[in-house]
Amino acid sequence: MGVDGNIVTLGFPETKGFLKDVAERKRPELEEAFGRFLGRTVSVRSIATNLELPPAASDDLVAEARRIFADDLADVGEVS
Assess if residue 56 is contained within a domain: yes
Q: Is the dihedral of CA 73, 76, 18, 6 positive or negative?
A: positive
- pLDDT tens for each residue of 17-50: 788 888 889 999 999 999 998 899 999 998 888 7
Assess if residue 31 is contained within a domain: yes
| Tally of domains within the chain | 1
Assess if residue 14 is contained within a domain: yes
* Whether the predicted pLDDT of 74 surpasses 70: no
Assess if residue 33 is contained within a domain: yes
Assess if residue 77 is contained within a domain: no
Task: Count helices and strands (H / E) in the chain.
Answer: 3, 3
Assess if residue 63 is contained within a domain: yes
Assess if residue 23 is contained within a domain: yes
Structural domain of 64:
2-72
Assess if residue 80 is contained within a domain: no
